[in-house]
Structure 1
């Protein structure tokens, strides 16, 4: 057999084994799966966060509108160890969501100004939520926000609020109108020139139609406790404002709606609704009150009243806008108080309608000449809150000061408590001036003389009786005997045991006993005249005992 034939025979003996088809098919399937996995994968994006609290590589999901669109694949620190770098593998088809204005934040349980949110993550764990981007170029690097973003839509109206005397409110604080949520604080700033806290507020439609140039804004604390002349007031607003408060707005009392406004119109943010209501009285007359009595219980915002009707507001106690050196140089030490009269509160009562400020000024000047004076009175005895009361006084002293450092001075008078103290003090002084010793000595001599007179009458009565019993007397005419008998009866009534003598003696004894009992009290009043008002002995404080 030739060589050629041998080769042909050997080739015929080689057979293809079908077992090799299995790994071949496996390799092809694996390649196809790798290709499919590569083809279905989305891009990898990088999120930069201050920390990665609650996030886990391979576990934490990324969602958009509660739909899974990616998963965290890696978490590491930045090169300077200042930030957390989070890599997220996005799903296929999410490329158009990754634009410059896309927002990312972590969803976890929160209790904030918008209420309670993220309770579902107590079981499933935290996840990353996103607001898809719609504008700008595509990007693969973003900043992970620490808080959910606010709405950036342009609907509604934006306003600028400035506050001078209240604490700072945070971004996201809700804005209410009669309890309805109508907006929120979009931005918080600080004006270094005026020292005011500034807020940019968004009022959403359709509530933006409620805003006009006559509305007022004020802070509504979640929980407030107020003590004033009207009493104690506790107010609890909604749950959303319980933690950090909120902002409310509306028209003042008896105030009509104003004209529409434009975007970024500026308003003042008042510390309370009461302060906002008082601000509507823009035509006022300021007076300086110089009180030479105790002003405790009188605070800024207290009422200025005329016979119980509020006509003004206290502005500052004590008033520091004047030189204290000049105040202390006056004849008597006084406490300056600045207050204002608000005639607009009384214009509705006037017969001729609205009266100008000039007319009110002239009217007050005329009433002051007629005896109108200001005094401090207690408006509420539970909390000792005081008000300034204006009323007419009989024979008032002429005002010594009518103007002080450019401020009109309203004449004042002593308060009612000072008048009572003065009357009691004067009464005690009169008691102290009474010559008690001489009076008691004279009374004792009088009682002795009265006893001696009774004894003499008794002796005369006995003498008359002996005279009548004599035989010579019985021989007198019958008329004279009858007269003597009547005289004897009369004398017997004045004896110690007679009808007149006995009550007189008992009254004299009772009077002497009462005077003896009154002597310690009068002696104590002479030594301590204030015993009628205060206790003679100080009360000891009760000290709590330790538990046994």
Structure 2
């Protein structure tokens, strides 16, 4: 048997040497890296240790009490130790590394615990989770690790858009942190803090307005204390004002912008506002000074200032002037009323007045005196000092209606607000009265109510109806009285002489004469206005004449300010009413003296007058433009033209007057040499009214100058004409007792040098009349 060869069957083992680090060494390396990472992680995540001291450790527990920021846990209280001075407790707290950035000098800590108060429930979540310490990061640049906890929670941090403002009051009152702020009784914010001002004289409140309501606060906003119940009143009324129940219990503020005030710019953070004690004072605030002669009837914090019945302010303080001459009342005026304060603003004390002629201000017996104010314009001037009037000013003509002026010799019992009646219906009132410019008459301003102003035409006559009138005759005694109100306060009645529905209503400010009785009103004609370029020579009472007969007179003369000229208000006699038509002519008759003419010399003695010539229209007129001279065709209408023949002209000149019984009835219109050259033809015009005086046997003579006759047997005689003919020359005439026939235009008469004996004694009866209008 062959033995196996084991050397060839089993190969020999080969050994290979390897170089490098053994894997065994990786484990220690991994352990080093892991340890480093764990060390880094421990160092990086290790908390920050701080100390917060509290006045007491109540509610704080080591190992349990958390530190939270915005509701998230950022740390824990580790230990509690009493401070060595035994005045406080130190809480050793570990905060997360993320909270380290909040640790500044002004960082705040405080204990949050459940609180139940009238303002509400706070920290309700602590009932489940327990008390915790709240953190509010600071903004300082310096880091700090030891802090003192606040005793009370700080004011809440404003959110984006929230408004933080300051409110100033003389004391805290019922306000405190958490007191609500309302706008129209909707809660829009709250008081978050308060403290004394730097001067220690006031309290400064920090107020928080929620962002959604921040635009409600502007520079014109007024804040007032709406806490509790405010009761005010007097014998006339009692006023009770309350806000919400929360405000009554907690105290609170309200604010608004005064009605009628344009809102100012929106309020900015830290703007300062004043807290008023109540709503009424919140609507005042502009302080002014009013000087009174005496403080009688005035009371600080009670006497109101009113404008047209609405309260515009109140007196808040009374002081005597340093020289004791008067009293200065400091008033607070509603901020919505700066327009009321300008150079025209007037103040006066309204007090009750009771007399037989007037009862006014009766309500002040119950409510007390108050101050009335009035103003003009609409631009405030910033004026803040005023002097009160001693009596109410004249009422302004700002009511609707027709304003007229009545002229009277005296006031005779009339007062402001005296009634004006028509058929016992009150149609107007007296507004005011004052003396006219020359202080000879009383001008009474009246108002006719709009409903009745169409009654007042130029045919209206106003007469006094005050008191009691007596009239007596053989038939008996008649007593006329007005109404009781007219007896007490005076009254005016209106008499319509001619009720014409088509009559034109008078213009505003038309003047009328106030007549003393209804009899005078019945006998009165219409009133007309005559406008002249100037008032030279015109006088009240001057006559208006037609053909030498007085048909009216001037009642008043007034400047046409601001227009030029003057206006004469004239009354026309009733019988001449129909003559005053729209195209009638009025002119002034005044003396004219020159080398070749002397005319109207009688006006030097009796005064100027207004001459009148009717027009041809049928419509009556009431407004006319007066002339300084008669119309050129005045002498050619319907008068009588005559020719007088004389041997010489003597002193006869054009314009000389023709007299009948020393009354001017015509004038010389011209003269010429007769074609035969034997005499002078003198042409005269006789006014229509006097034309019937001229008869076929009428005689004419030269009435110029002085005639002296002397004889040894008959003695001496001196003959003169009238004063006017003596000075200016003229022609006189006479008609026998048995008048002749009526003459026509162009009739010729002889002009005698002197009158014969007996001519001046003739007294014929010749009727004169005015032709009736067609």
For the superposition of Structure 1 and Structure 2, which TM-score range results when normalised by the shorter chain?
A: 0.3 to 0.5
Higher relative contact order (CA 8 A, sep 6+): 1
Q: Give the structure-1-normalised TM-score.
A: 0.48
* Larger proportion of strand: 2
* Larger proportion of helix: 1
Q: Give the structure-2-normalised TM-score.
A: 0.35
